[in-house]
């Protein structure tokens, strides 16, 4: 009789372990699974590009199709205008494409005395015939004031094979210190 009790307890333990492992396995199967993603990234030419060779591109600037580094000047108590500082080109001959200008970063930072070396820095965008929109930085006390205040313009459509340009205007107050530098980063966001 004792042998039957021992076998019965071992069978019950085995059955209990088996049922527990099945319960864990079925619960785990509903929680853990895998998704597969297979991206394919192709190098291509942007549809909206910068074009070097604008007649008023600031001396010392570097421009390629995906980025531009402009080295403009600002004069005390005078507005300096680079009428066609940079071209923006739609390389797609079949469709218009939209782009906007968006503020990313600027130094000197708001609240620092260095901001007082500028009155304004403006990026005015023109199509083949007239003014379209702008992203403007003006100074109030020691703070940059963005226009539009969000720091981003609306999106505007460049027609197929169209070429627009950016007019850059800079101005500093009469009390500006020569040699001070303002570093700006502006993104050109494109809808393809």
Per-residue model confidence as pLDDT tens digits over 131-158 = 999 999 999 989 999 999 999 999 999 9
What is the arithmetic mean of pLDDT over 107-130? 96
For residue 125, tell me if it sits in a domain. Answer: yes
Average pLDDT, the chain: 90
Q: Find the domain containing 7 and state its range.
A: 1-33
Residues 73 and 159 in one domain: yes
Residues 94 and 16 in one domain: no
Residue 38, in any domain of the structure: no
Residues 5 and 67 occupy one common structural domain: no
Report residue 129's pLDDT band, with 50, 70 and 90 as the boundaries.
confident
Does residue 42 belong to any structural domain of this protein?
A: no
User: Is the residue at 115 inside a domain?
Assistant: yes
Q: For residue 20, is it within any domain?
A: yes
Answer yes or no: do 77 and 5 share one domain.
no
Determine the pLDDT at residue 30.
57
The pLDDT, as a whole number, for residue 142 is 94
In a shared domain, residues 89 and 23: no
Helix (H) or strand (E) holding 69: strand 68-69
Say if residue 79 is in the same domain as residue 162.
yes
Split at pLDDT 50, 70, 90, the class of 104 is: very high
How much of the chain exceeds pLDDT 90, in percent? 75
If phi > 0 it is left, if psi is from -120 to 50 it is alpha, else beta; for residue 8 that is alpha
C-alpha triplet 40, 45, 46: angle, nearest 5°: 100
Asked if residue 175 and residue 98 are part of one domain, the reply reads: yes
Q: Is residue 141 part of a domain?
A: yes
- pLDDT of residue 79 exceeding 90, the answer is yes
130 in the same domain as 67: yes
Task: Assess whether 95 and 174 both reside in one domain.
Answer: yes
Structurally, how many domains does the chain consist of?
Answer: 2
Same domain assignment for residues 133 and 185: yes
In the predicted model, what is the mean pLDDT of residues 77-82? Answer: 95
- Asked whether residue 7 falls in the same domain as residue 64, the answer is no
User: Starting at the edge strand that comes first in sequence, how are the strands of the sheet with 163-172 ordered?
Assistant: 48-51, 78-90, 163-172, 120-126, 131-140, 143-147
Percent of the chain scored above 70 by pLDDT?
A: 90
Higher pLDDT: 79 or 45? It is 79
Asked if the model's pLDDT at residue 92 lies above 80, the reply is yes
């Amino acid at each position: 009789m004792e042998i039957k009790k021992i076998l019965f307890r071992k069978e019950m333990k085995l059955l209990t372990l088996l049922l527990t492992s099945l319960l864990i396995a079925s619960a785990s199967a509903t929680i853990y699974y895998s998704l597969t993603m297979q991206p394919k990234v192709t190098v291509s030419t942007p549809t909206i590009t910068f074009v070097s060779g604008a007649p008023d591109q600031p001396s010392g600037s570097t421009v390629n199709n995906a980025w531009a580094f402009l080295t403009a000047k600002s004069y005390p108590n005078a507005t300096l205008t680079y009428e066609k500082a940079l071209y923006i080109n739609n390389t797609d001959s079949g469709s218009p494409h939209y782009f906007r200008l968006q503020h990313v970063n600027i130094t000197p930072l708001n609240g620092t005395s260095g901001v007082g070396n500028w009155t304004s820095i403006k990026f005015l965008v023109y199509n083949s015939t007239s003014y379209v929109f702008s992203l403007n930085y003006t100074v109030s006390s020691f703070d940059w004031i963005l226009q539009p205040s969000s720091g981003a313009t609306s999106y505007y459509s460049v027609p197929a094979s169209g070429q627009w340009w950016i007019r850059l205007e800079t101005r500093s107050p009469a009390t500006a210190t020569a040699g001070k530098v303002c570093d700006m980063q502006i993104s050109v966001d494109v809808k393809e």
